[in-house]
């Protein structure tokens, strides 16, 4: 229930989908940071964070994504947040983070991810 499960799938070499189901808060954020940061630390990695099943997120979650985003800039990797729910998207908008990070409310279909456009 009030918890977060994290599934990391390597779709093709250096292309990751990280599926997050549950809630990102002060209790679950440290675990999330530990999973995501190493992925962003390798040059050339493309990391898709799938928030389809993330129904709750607060500033502790924003903090994790900011630090991962900073890491992508320092390490020449990429990160994108996909399937972002309205309520979650709202927090990125209110804080101005949507202007800096790559966010998408829609599903990215397999083709698009695979043809390297991402």
Partner 1 sequence: MEDFDFIEMKVPAKAEYVGVIRLSISGIASRMGFSYEAIEDLKVAISEAATNVVAHAYEKKEKGELTLGFGVYHNRLEVMVSDQGDSFNFAEIKDRIGPVTSVDDISPVSQMREGGFGLFLINALMDKVEINNEYGVIVLMTKYLDETEVDVNEQVQANQ
- Footprint of partner 1 (CB under 8 A): 1-3, 23, 25-27, 56, 58-60, 62-63, 66-67, 69-70, 73-74, 87, 91, 94-97, 99-100
Q: What is the DSSP string of 7-60?
A: EEEEEETTEEEEEEEEEESTTTHHHHHHHHHHHHTSTT-EEEEEEEEEEEE-HH
Q: Which is nearer to partner 1, 52 or 112 (CB)?
A: 52
Q: Which is nearer to partner 1, 29 or 113 (CB)?
A: 29
User: Nearest to residue 33, comparing CAs of 2, 63, 77, 74?
Assistant: 63
Q: Which is nearer to partner 1, 8 or 26 (CB)?
A: 26
Q: How many CB atoms lie within 10 A of CB 102?
A: 15
Residue given tokens 């927090």 in the structure block: 91
CB 20 to partner 1: min, Å? 15
Backbone angles phi, psi at 106, to 5 degrees: -95, 160
CB 68 to partner 1: min, Å? 10
Q: Which is nearer to partner 1, 14 or 31 (CB)?
A: 31
CB 108 to partner 1: min, Å? 24
């Amino acid at each position: 229930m009030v918890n977060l499960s994290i599934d990391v799938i390597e779709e093709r070499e250096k292309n990751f989908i990280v599926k997050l189901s549950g809630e990102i808060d002060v209790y679950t954020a440290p675990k999330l940071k530990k999973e995501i940061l190493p992925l962003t630390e390798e040059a050339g990695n493309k990391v898709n964070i799938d928030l389809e099943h993330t129904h709750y997120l607060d500033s502790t979650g924003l903090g994790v994504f900011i630090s991962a985003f900073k890491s992508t800039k320092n390490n020449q990797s990429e990160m994108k947040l996909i399937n972002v729910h309205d309520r979650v998207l709202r927090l990125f908008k209110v804080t101005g983070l949507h202007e800096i990070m790559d966010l998408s409310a829609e599903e990215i279909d397999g083709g698009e991810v695979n043809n390297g456009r991402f």
